[in-house]
A and B are shown apart, each in its own frame.
Chain A
């Protein structure tokens, strides 16, 4: 189309647009005269104009902004902030983004929260926040999320926290069609009360209790997050105060931040008055109401309306059928006058517990059971627990597969939804157990077991005890580690391979690290001292021993995998007190018939762990190399384990010099494996060796008991 033609076309088009309906048609026909092609052009453009209405009206700009921001988030993946390697975005909100990261120094997963830039403006404020966050974390309460560290990266403050594989109460409520069961609601609230009580007694008020700040783990455990963060957030004065740089935008944003939180604010907070623990009682009251009713008690179309509702209105009457005592309890927490509320979260919790008892669900507070334990299942579980020891194990094994199908039907939707979420997203630390076992040499399963003490990896342990590891110099330590590592290899089924010096070095580093935890837990590392780990392990040894022995799997695997996974907190305070555990991918746990509520049940996990290891060993062999790879791949889930091992096997074929692979083979080829595997497992096997060396040489580390594998498990199986 030439320029003149285009000009013509546009003139007629614009004039036509000023006319409507038939007048438009007449105008176009008149204006184009005999020029048919021009008329068609104009008419088709006019038609398109009508159709295009609205198409370009929303600028693509917003999308571009999001895109830019996402690029930024994506850009962080794979990079390090301090010692933390960022793996993926877990979530984002008004308070910044949270990433899953690997802690390179301590070889664990953590959550790193990057605070919004504007939070950094007031240094004094940031400092106060850090003090408070750490103070809450230092309470060491199982319902308070642990803060590992706070720091600054490119002008942004970050908080390194315990990683919890779970969902926030908000996500939970949003993803569920049905309301939570009453027992769930009460249980969650009691746990939040427990966390708050501990904080309040230390003089810390949370100030921002809301569903986003309450996390639920698959095992029913509740974690309260973001203590102290509210102090950093925009407060009520943000409504009137705007940053001078870009007033419009900031006022809007400030209001937005408030919007998210304001529904949970107490009248005194909304008024900007001083706040005490009773403000947390109110906020939790709002959460309780919302969990029951699936809607917030105080809402309005605008921030101002919401504020009015909080200050003036009574919550809408309950529509759900709940006991009147619970109604009264929730409304008491929501008394506009704080003197009329529960004066402490303990009082609140006591009342909730009383209601729970009144509901007649005696088992509901058996604490660390899943929210969703179905009553009939629970009964069965109780029966099984009282069965004779031998019978129990058999029963559990036999039931494993039936449980799988049964569960699918019996979990209520909340649990099912939750479970499903995990399939999509997070790695679920599935289970746990602890125990002990004798060395069970798979390569020679038919060989009669030697006497208990002789089965220890360190027959000369008496000699070793003469010399404490801590008193050895570096060369002596290395020699000790090399020798003991070989023994571990042999116990896993190997002939006498020589351990490369570099390998011994790596193992030594881990032994050193464990040794440093001898009697005093580093506050930033795991909470347990070496002594505690050891004592705990000894407690559950007999059961694991029993099951690994049954499956002809080296007992060392059963003993030391859980031991090195002690930084996973999933079952921290399970009735069994087990902190270390076998961690299964959620899918794997399901395949093996582990019900979510049994993840922390040592009786269920012990046989499953043994079966799992045996299955893998069945696929890849029972020599030490294969066993080592199975250990390395342990927390990968069975499908990934297969992939990993097949990949490694290909390297093996390609590199004939590695005809007899040991775990150094894995390290040597680590770069060819995928990121996650590499990061997770670079230290996994060496650490396993380190744990075994210590566990088998307790005297050298000043530990009070016998070598773990020498504990006679045969007749101690529960």
Chain B
């Protein structure tokens, strides 16, 4: 597994598009496993260490000795994209359910209800749309949001992943936040 993922990352950063297709399900499975483990171990009172999970997945999947630092950036890029997809799909399902699409709507546990309530603060579907628009104007800024917001990377990690300075990430982040917020508000 380690070698497989490491090799795929390598091939992908060397420009092999197929490698990505094979990488995605591997990373997704491991993310899912890690999330499960995390949710089970967590004892209700803890907030998630934002990068811990992706980091854990990365350490688990990638052979550290065999890999170049860029691989890590690529890996986080993939993870961020996946997280975005997971969340957006989730939001879409919820919306569907709220419209009464699923009559047998199960009761939410307290925790689910909390997550659900917070979700109401930020319309993820709208954010997804805004982010797609932003990517047309400014792909890097869109990427910064993806890494920061969806994969939980900090400034330094994001800078590493995008191979830019921390100051640039900070500027991109500020601008992107303002732009996204305005977009989402105006669209409402």
Chain A positions within 8 Å of B, measured between CB atoms, are: 1, 6, 10, 13-14, 17, 44-49, 51-52, 55-56, 59-72, 88-89, 91-94, 96-97, 116-118, 245-246, 248-250, 252-253, 256-257, 259-260, 424-425
Contact = CB atoms under 8 A, between A and B. Distances in A.
Nearest to A96: B40
A71 B171 contact: no
Interface in B42-57: 42-50, 52-56
Given A17-B174, A48-B181, A71-B32, 16 more contacts: A14-B175, A52-B178, A56-B148, A64-B90, A66-B35, A66-B115, A67-B35, A67-B86, A67-B115, A68-B86, A72-B32, A93-B44, A245-B60, A249-B38, A259-B45, A260-B44
A67 B41 CA distance: 15
A48 B43 contact: no
Contacts of A94: 41, 43-44
Contacts of B111: 66
5 contacts: A14-B171, A56-B180, A61-B150, A63-B118, A71-B32
Top 6 A-B residue pairs of the complex, sorted by shortest distance between their CB atoms: A69-B39, A256-B43, A68-B35, A52-B181, A61-B152, A49-B178
A59 B39 contact: no
Contacts of B60: 245
Contacts of A245: 56, 59-60
B182 A59 contact: no
Contact of A63 (B59, B115, B175): B115
A548 to B, nearest CB: 36
B46 A256 contact: yes
B37 interface: yes
Nearest to A249: B52
Nearest to A254: B41
A486 B163 CA distance: 81
Interface in B115-129: 115, 118-119, 121-122, 124
Contacts of B87: 60, 63-64, 67
Given A45-B182, A59-B50, A72 B36 contact: yes
A690 B49 CA distance: 58
Contacts of B62: none
Nearest to B48: A62
B35 A69 contact: yes
Nearest to B118: A63
Given A45-B182, A246-B59, A259-B43, A69 B36 contact: yes
Interface in B11-54: 31-32, 35-50, 52-54
Contacts, number: 169
A554 B30 CA distance: 59
Nearest to B35: A68
Interface string B107-146: 1010110010011011010000000000001100000010
A52 B177 contact: yes
Contact of A52 (B35, B138, B152, B180): B180
Given A60-B87, A94-B43, A69 B145 contact: no
Contact of A69 (B38, B175, B180): B38
B46 A68 contact: no
A67 B31 CA distance: 11
A88 B48 contact: no
B96 interface: no
Interface of B: 31-32, 35-50, 52-56, 59-60, 83-84, 86-87, 90, 106-107, 109, 111-112, 115, 118-119, 121-122, 124, 137-138, 145, 148-152, 171, 174-175, 177-182, 185
Contacts of B119: 63
Contact of B43 (A62, A118, A248, A253): A253
Contact of B181 (A1, A13, A55, A68): A55
Contacts of B47: 62
Given A64-B150, A424-B107, A117 B37 contact: yes
A148 B179 CA distance: 59
Given A72-B32, A260-B44, A425 B109 contact: no
A52 B185 CA distance: 10
Contacts of A248: 49, 52
B169 to A, nearest CB: 12
A17 B176 CA distance: 13
A211 to B, nearest CB: 14
Contacts of B35: 64-69, 72
B48 A92 contact: no
Contact of A6 (B37, B137, B149, B181): B137
A618 B48 CA distance: 58
Contacts of B106: 88
B74 to A, nearest CB: 18
Contact of A60 (B49, B53, B55, B83): B83
A1 B137 contact: yes
Contacts of A118: 37, 41
A6 B134 CA distance: 11
Contacts of A424: 107
Contacts of A61: 48, 50, 53-54, 83, 149-152
A246 B52 contact: yes
A116 B40 contact: yes
Nearest to A77: B106
B37 to A, nearest CB: 6
Given A92-B109, A246-B56, A424-B107, A6 B177 contact: no
Contacts of A68: 31-32, 35-36, 39, 86
